[in-house]
A and B are shown apart, each in its own frame.
Chain A
Amino acid sequence: MKIAIASGKGGTGKTLVSVNLAYLWSEIYNTKTVLVDLDVEEPNDHVFFQEKISSSTEVFRPVPNFIKERCIFCSKCHDVCRFNAITMFPDTVIVSPELCHSCYACAELCPSNALIMTHKKNGVIRNYGKDNVLLYDGLLDVGEASAVPLITELKSQVLSKHNNSVDYFFDSPPGTSCPMIESIRDVDFVILVAEPTPFGIHDMDLAIQTVQLSDTPLGVVINKDNENSQKIYEKCKEYNVPILAAIPHKREIASFLANGGLAIRKFDEIKISLTQLVEELKIRINNN
């Protein structure tokens, strides 16, 4: 089973929900859970995770490498590349890896095999822990433009390693564009974490519409719950999206989270809210 945690707006509490949910789920169902931090631009789950890093491997994305001796200067590669990643000169071809989307069109359509796909490092995948809760995260190299290839690679490596033997929690990047869409792809359920402010509700609205482009069922967790949460209930009713749990807000929680650590061990109110979330998820995922 695969559950993604996303939000629209940044800083609403995705990481708080993801890390604590992965531990709580494992404890309640006495099962192994795998937490995957897909916010590869700014991964933070490790700050709150209880175990140390156990391994780190480099990851690569495919980009074409030009072999001048084979080139017949037909300009096919340049003509098919829609990302302006290939520049033709009278006596050479220059590839701009930062513009390349790794579609393979240039390499596979080249009649003389002058472009060979090679691998450019774009980040690392790290893993933490060895017991019932494992964490994997990706760390995009600074200056790499697209997070999507690393997100895809991270998901694929983790899923092929653990198959269906564990339950997965995908902590997604903020926003509603490509990295978020790639993160929630092919999951069984999406949890949107929203806070009761006009910014939070505006971005939750966009996130609900994005998730609803697919048929993936979703629900909302309210974080920093207060008197304005009523507006989240109203908005969710419009979209027929259930509210699964509400996490209260206290200054002490903010101070605790600043230093990292597992909030369910420290704050009963968070443990109660997330236990309710676990129950809601079990009912809703079984019903689907």
Chain B
Amino acid sequence: MKELVVLSGKGGTGKTSVSGALAYLLGKNALLGDCDVDASNLHLVTGAKNTISEDFFSGCIAEINNLKCTNCGRCANICRFNAIEYINNTYVINPMHCEGCGYCYEICPKEAIILNPGHTGYLKVSETRFGSTLVHASLNIGAENSGKLVSRVREKLNQIADDSNANLIITDGSPGIGCPVIATITGASHILIVTEPGMSALHDMERLIKLAQAFKISVSCIINKYDIENDLTKNIEEYLKQNNIPLWGKLPYNDVFRIAVSDLKTAPELNHELINKEFKKIVEFVKNTLL
């Protein structure tokens, strides 16, 4: 089983548009994952239905039992996350800022602190319009541990892949290079970077490539909206060549993408000849590289 992860560094370059297009073109042949657990979108464009949801617990959240608390204030003094506030003559833990380290629980002389298991989100398995399975998740509003929920999505993907003998997983990732992205790429087979001609996107892609190199994962690239700044596109192509990163395709700046997203469709479903030709080429690269 091979897993292709779609990433970008910078947000809004078209990760989900590309993941959605690959999902449509590969149909039942690909198992799908969405590792952007705090702002997931792949379920929208793939028409996810018959969703089975399971609770996800991770870490813990501290709470003060005010019947036992003697207001000594030790917990607030040692909390490095400033999560414990003194309001109306009592100490209160703000769950949004509690890191779940349990130091307050350890240090309280009156055993007034309770550690509750943190219900941080939901793991979901859905059927898509294309006959494939999508594993996705939603992090609760304000919850911690998005990296752990990402790892749970990938664990589930691997389990389903084993059970169904699937040989290809396409995973949509999140922007950035921090813990959710690290959790997304750990153990993945190949990274597909969706970039665009812009100083920001280029800067962010370089940092993502460094991360991929540190994890020893191979990388390919798609340039989206390549024709908005042809000179910058040339710079990106030059950069890719120098770093031996294959360029799988170049997608134009075209209203087809906007209309597709607005109608919750994938771009190839709109049958634009040139764009579909480019996507077919990209699918061939996916198959040749991963299968």
* Residue positions of A touching B, CB distance < 8 A: 7-12, 15, 39, 41-42, 44, 47, 80, 82-83, 101-105, 108-109, 140, 142-147, 173-181, 185, 197-199, 202-203, 206-207, 209-210, 213-214, 228, 251, 254-255, 257-260
Are B228 and A251 touching (Cβ within 8 A)?
Answer: yes
- Residues on the B chain within 8 Å of A210, using CB: 141-142
Determine whether the beta carbon of B146 is less than 8 Å from that of A178.
yes
How far does the Cβ of B56 sit from chain A's closest Cβ, in whole Å? 13
Check if A260 sits within 8 Å of B80, measured CB to CB: no
Given contacts A10-B12, A10-B39, A199-B45, 18 further A-B contacts (CB under 8 A): A9-B41, A47-B199, A80-B102, A82-B101, A82-B102, A83-B101, A105-B106, A108-B78, A146-B179, A174-B175, A175-B175, A176-B142, A178-B146, A179-B176, A185-B97, A202-B39, A258-B196, A258-B232
Task: Please tell me the number of chain B residues within 8 Å of chain A, measured between CB atoms.
Answer: 64
Residues of B within 8 A of A (CB): 8-13, 16, 36-39, 41, 44-45, 59-60, 78, 80-81, 96-97, 99-103, 106-107, 139, 141-144, 146-147, 174-182, 196-200, 203-204, 207, 210-211, 214, 225, 228-229, 232, 253, 258, 261-262, 264
Contact of A10 among B11, B37, B198 (CB under 8 A): B11
Cβ contact of B41, chosen from A101, A104, A185, A202, cutoff 8 A: A202
Q: Which residue of B lies closest to A257 (CB)?
A: B198
Asked if B12 and A175 sit within 8 Å, CB to CB, the answer is no
Shortest CB distance A223–B (Å): 10
Distance in angstroms between the alpha carbons of A254 and B12 in the assembled complex: 12
A248 to chain B, nearest CB (A): 14
> Can you list 13 residue pairs at the A/B interface with Cβ under 8 Å?
A10-B10, A41-B207, A103-B101, A105-B103, A140-B178, A146-B178, A173-B176, A174-B175, A177-B38, A178-B144, A202-B41, A258-B228, A259-B232
B207 partner, pick from A80, A83, A142, A199, beta carbons under 8 A: A142
Do residues B176 and A42 form an inter-chain contact, with CB atoms below 8 A? yes
Complex Cα–Cα for A109 and B44 (A) = 48
Q: Are B199 and A82 in contact (CB under 8 A)?
A: no
